């Protein structure tokens, strides 16, 4: 029976909510969003026809509240709810509650969610259905001695997994029997705290496997197909970083075998809708790992190679239609790769970052490039949710074409305000082993040195572009207002200075702790910059959006410089480097004594005080280090002086704007 969906509520946020609503709108549906207090101005709210507040920022109090979401569904007249991924998407009680409220849950039956919700129970089921399993133990008995004996039987190394697990939590690799008891206890603790259930399973740890998963789709008329596979072998800490389709090296026979195993798995639990059967593959073997009973983050690569819209398929199936295509009709064309752009700092062990996206350029303008995102420039990445900024998906006629486009797409991506994994992803895309499809789950660890190089000092090209940007910006400003307040400012040079062949200014930049002074000599069409590596003739134009068309000793370059406060982030040749401009005017203000107050840049904890009362300091010296959100911020001396008073001690909490110390003239 067809039960038409006219109004769709999306019980999610961010990119997946936006993506689902795009398809719903294209199909002529009315869309309803829900939002937490943190998301009142979020993109998914702006895209929706209607949006309902469901509670405070923490997910527990909003996006995980079944009652609040059903209330919004009733108020809005929604006849279906799409759960996206994460949050309530694999929550059987939610699927049941929707059913009871007479609302279509766009997902599998609650019974299928339950059957696959426990990795152990799912493995037992799959064993019966004849789906191959990694050798292991997935029984009910959780006696520690028994688990240890099972580990011995399986043979080390083994992997302990939280049965209720997800997102890599509660997973421990154990290399020897001595390590087993402690690893077990720690896996159980993690499982208990993350999932409220300390049940574990133990399986053989494969040392160089690939993660290959199969997209399945079933309708309520007994049809079930697979839409080929995805390779998600490039992972960090068992979490996907790069995903692609099809899997390199996949033969048609193997695809058919894995496809059949996946369809068998889905049929064994009476599946309906979109699902993913995850396999781990090594050599000629593949084994069932788990089934994700929802739309997957990486579904766009499947859409790219099949030309299908999986959300449209979900909605059709949910309203009782048959699958749009039979197995034989499902296309497989070209190659697609997705990367997850995250607000995280690779230099600090990928610590998630929070803060404002001061500047954001995503490569959706490039051909064969799709960007799924839930944020815009000016939005904030908060501590409450997943710090994913966007998914970037490229496709090509073949894998190498897609790989080249991936590199170009990442080169065209610009984020200022937060550290991201962009450069790390780009290094993966550029790695010869990636081009050669040498994929397994150790890829990142194996190529770590190349993928995560030590920071390099700023180069002359970046300095030249930063200097050109500042000079152009200052020229524009001084043309508007001659700086009467500060007659000594080098920027206050009277109009006509361009004619004076000896006119010059000294610019100072800071690259982390290093100061770099650059003398710029004015020339009729540009400047000669005395850079660390020698003189360079620089000319060019800067646009209001920070774009630079520059010539460095005649070589034309496109670049972008984004200024936030005194920080200049220079994007050039696909790389990026941030330097601080030491503004001479701010320094001269400080010298007049009005700017003796040194304040905390953000609320945080004092973690280091580098000076003592009475100590003389030189301009630029580090004074106090404040830590907030695990980020360190160094407060430096704006001028030479003497520390008159320290207001806090190490360990003290400070508010933003709190005066940290008083600097007086030496
Ligand atoms: P999650 O629920 O966190 O997704 P999975 O069971 O899907 O947990 O495993 C996540 C990842 O851990 C896999 O993609 C794979 O890289 C790795 N992994 C899982 N099982 C094994 C195994 N038996 N041997 C080696 N690696 C494994
Ligand atoms: P996939 O196999 O689809 O990549 P993941 O295991 O990576 O699935 O998880 C899917 C996404 O959902 C991830 O981005 C993860 O951070 C997010 N997620 C999972 N659980 C939650 C949750 N409870 N709240 C918010 N986001 C979640
Ligand atoms: Mg998984």
Question: Count of CB atoms within 10 A of residue 558's CB?
Answer: 12
Nearest protein CA to atom 24 of ligand 2, as residue: 87
277 lines ligand 1 (CB under 6 A): no
Q: Is 318's pLDDT higher than 70? A: yes
Atom index in ligand 2 nearest the CA of residue 292 equals 2
pLDDT of res. 596: 52
Give the closest ligand to the alpha carbon of residue 241: 2
Mean pLDDT of the 645-649 span: 89
Atom index in ligand 1 nearest the CA of residue 134 equals 23
- Residue 193 near residue 204 (C-beta atoms within 8 A): no
583-631 per-position pLDDT tens digit: 876 654 433 333 456 877 767 788 889 899 999 998 878 888 887 665 6
Q: Is 424's pLDDT higher than 90? A: yes
168 lines ligand 2 (CB under 6 A): no
415: CA distance to ligand 3 center in Å? 29
Q: Is 567's pLDDT higher than 60? A: yes
CATH no. for 135-204: 3.30.1490.20
Residue 550 CA to residue 540 CA, distance in Å, equals 4
Give the closest ligand to the alpha carbon of residue 232: 1
Mean pLDDT of the 631-654 span: 83
Q: Which CATH class is domain 7-106?
A: alpha beta
| Catalytically annotated residue among 236, 272, 294, 370 | 294
Return all residues near 453 (Cβ < 8 A) that are at least 6 apart: 427
Q: What is the residue-averaged pLDDT of the chain?
A: 92
Nearest protein CA to atom 16 of ligand 1, as residue: 238
Bond from prior residue into 157 cis (ω within 30 degrees of 0): yes
Give the closest ligand to the alpha carbon of residue 297: 2
Least confident of 82-86, 112-116, 432-436, 626-630: 626-630
188-216 per-position pLDDT tens digit: 999 998 899 999 999 999 999 999 999 99
276-306 per-position pLDDT tens digit: 999 999 999 999 999 999 999 999 999 999 9
Return all residues near 448 (Cβ < 8 A) that are at least 6 apart: none
Around 459, how many Cα atoms within 13 Å sit in the side-chain half-sphere? 8
Give percent above pLDDT 70 in the chain. 93
Least confident of 163-177, 272-286, 312-326, 557-571: 163-177
Atom index in ligand 2 nearest the CA of residue 295 equals 3
Confidence of residue 637 (pLDDT cuts 50, 70, 90): confident
Mean pLDDT of the 51-77 span: 97
User: Taking the CA atoms of the chain, what radius of gyration do you get in angstroms?
Assistant: 29
Three-state secondary structure of 50-62: EEEEEECCCHHHC
Which of 126, 174, 175, 211 for mutating ligand 1's site (highest number of atoms within 8 Å of CB)? 211
Atom index in ligand 2 nearest the CA of residue 167 equals 6
Nearest protein CA to atom 17 of ligand 2, as residue: 86
Atom index in ligand 1 nearest the CA of residue 207 equals 25
Which of 44, 88, 162, 167 for mutating ligand 2's site (highest number of atoms within 8 Å of CB)? 167
Around 298, how many Cα atoms within 13 Å sit in the side-chain half-sphere? 27
82 lines ligand 2 (CB under 6 A): no
> For residues 393, 394, 397 and 400, what is the CA-based torsion angle, rounded to 10 degrees?
-110
Around 280, how many Cα atoms within 13 Å sit in the side-chain half-sphere? 16
Return all residues near 309 (Cβ < 8 A) that are at least 6 apart: 23, 303
58 lines ligand 2 (CB under 6 A): no
Nearest protein CA to atom 12 of ligand 2, as residue: 86
407: CA distance to ligand 2 center in Å? 25
Residue 258 CA to residue 150 CA, distance in Å, equals 28
Question: Count of CB atoms within 10 A of residue 306's CB?
Answer: 20
Around ion ligand 3, residues with a beta carbon closer than 5 Å are 278
Nearest protein CA to atom 7 of ligand 2, as residue: 167
Q: What is the domain partition of the chain in residue ranges?
A: 7-106, 135-204, 210-451, 460-479+502-581, 598-664
User: Is 210 annotated in the active site?
Assistant: no
Confidence of residue 485 (pLDDT cuts 50, 70, 90): very low
The sign one gets for the Cα dihedral 143, 148, 149, 151 is: positive
Least confident of 339-353, 551-565, 601-615: 601-615
Indicate the SS3 state at residue 280: strand
**CATH T-level topology, domain 598-664:** OB fold (Dihydrolipoamide Acetyltransferase, E2P) (2.40.50)
Give the closest ligand to the alpha carbon of residue 243: 2
pLDDT of res. 591: 38
pLDDT of res. 647: 86
**CATH T-level topology, domain 210-451:** D-amino Acid Aminotransferase; Chain A, domain 1 (3.30.470)
pTM, full prediction: 0.87
Nearest protein CA to atom 14 of ligand 2, as residue: 386
Q: Is 425's pLDDT higher than 60? A: yes
Mean pLDDT of the 352-364 span: 95
Strands (E), 180-284: 200-204, 210-218, 224-236, 239-245, 273-282
**CATH T-level topology, domain 460-479+502-581:** Glycoprotein, Type 4 Pilin (3.30.700)
């Amino acid at each position: 029976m067809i039960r038409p969906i006219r109004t769709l509520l999306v019980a999610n946020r961010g990119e997946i909510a936006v993506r689902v609503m795009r398809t719903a709108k294209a199909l002529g549906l009315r869309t309803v969003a829900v939002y937490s207090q943190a998301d009142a101005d979020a993109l998914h709210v702006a895209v929706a026809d209607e949006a309902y507040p469901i509670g405070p920022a923490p997910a527990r109090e909003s996006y995980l509240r079944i009652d609040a979401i059903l209330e919004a569904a009733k108020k809005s007249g929604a006849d279906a709810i799409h759960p996206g991924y994460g949050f309530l998407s694999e929550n059987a009680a939610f699927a049941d509650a929707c059913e009871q409220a007479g609302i279509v849950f766009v997902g599998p039956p609650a019974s299928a969610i339950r059957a696959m919700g426990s990795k152990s129970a799912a493995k037992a089921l799959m064993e019966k259905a004849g789906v191959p399993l990694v050798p292991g133990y997935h029984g009910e008995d959780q006696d520690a001695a028994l688990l240890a004996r099972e580990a011995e039987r399986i043979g080390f190394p083994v992997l302990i997994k939280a049965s209720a697990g997800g997102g890599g939590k509660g997973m421990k690799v154990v290399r020897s029997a001595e390590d087993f008891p402690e690893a077990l206890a720690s896996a159980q603790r993690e499982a208990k705290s993350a999932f409220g259930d300390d049940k574990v399973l133990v399986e053989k740890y494969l040392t160089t496997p690939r993660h290959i998963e199969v997209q399945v789709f079933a309708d309520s008329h007994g049809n079930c197909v697979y839409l080929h596979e995805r390779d998600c072998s490039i992972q960090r800490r068992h979490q996907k970083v790069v995903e692609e389709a099809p899997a390199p090296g996949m033969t048609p026979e193997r695809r058919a075998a894995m496809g059949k195993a996946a369809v068998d798995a889905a049929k064994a639990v009476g599946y309906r809708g979109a699902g993913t059967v995850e396999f781990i593959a090594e050599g000629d073997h593949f084994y069932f790992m788990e089934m994700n009973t929802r739309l997957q983050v990486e579904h766009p690569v499947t859409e790219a190679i099949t030309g299908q819209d999986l959300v449209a398929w979900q909605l059709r199936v949910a309203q009782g239609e048959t699958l749009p295509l039979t197995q034989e009709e499902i296309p497989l064309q070209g190659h697609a790769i997705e990367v997850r752009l995250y607000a995280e700092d690779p230099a600090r062990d990928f610590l998630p970052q929070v803060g404002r996206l001061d500047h954001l350029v995503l490569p959706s303008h490039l051909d064969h490039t799709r960007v799924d995102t839930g944020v815009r420039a000016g939005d904030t990445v908060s501590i409450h949710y997943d710090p994913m900024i966007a998914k970037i998906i490229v496709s090509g006629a073949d894998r190498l074409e897609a790989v080249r486009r991936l590199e170009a797409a990442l080169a065209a991506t610009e984020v200022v305000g937060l550290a991201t994994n962009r450069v790390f992803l780009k290094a993966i895309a550029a790695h010869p082993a990636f081009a050669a499809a040498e994929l397994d789950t150790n890829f990142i660890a194996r190529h770590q040195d190349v993928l995560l190089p030590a920071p390099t000092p700023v180069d002359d090209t970046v300095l030249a572009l930063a200097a050109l940007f500042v000079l152009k910006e200052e020229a524009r400003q001084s043309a508007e207002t001659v700086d009467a307040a500060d007659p000594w400012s080098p920027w206050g040079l009277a109009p006509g200075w361009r004619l004076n062949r000896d006119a010059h200014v000294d610019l100072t930049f800071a690259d982390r702790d290093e100061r770099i002074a650059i003398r710029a000599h004015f020339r009729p069409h540009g400047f000669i910059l005395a850079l660390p590596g020698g003189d360079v003739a620089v000319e060019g134009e800067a646009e209001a959006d920070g774009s630079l068309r520059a010539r460095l000793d005649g070589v034309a370059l496109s670049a972008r410089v984004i200024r936030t406060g005194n920080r200049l982030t220079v994007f050039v040749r696909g790389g990026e480097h941030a330097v601080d401009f030491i503004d001479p005017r701010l320094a001269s203000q400080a010298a007049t004594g009005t700017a003796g107050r040194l304040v905390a840049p953000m609320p945080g904890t004092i973690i280091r005080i580098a000076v003592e009362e009475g100590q003389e300091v030189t301009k630029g010296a580090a004074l106090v280090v404040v830590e907030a959100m695990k980020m360190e911020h160094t407060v430096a001396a704006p001028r030479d002086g003497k520390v008159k008073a320290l207001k806090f001690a190490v360990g003290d909490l400070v508010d933003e704007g709190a005066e940290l110390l008083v600097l007086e003239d030496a």
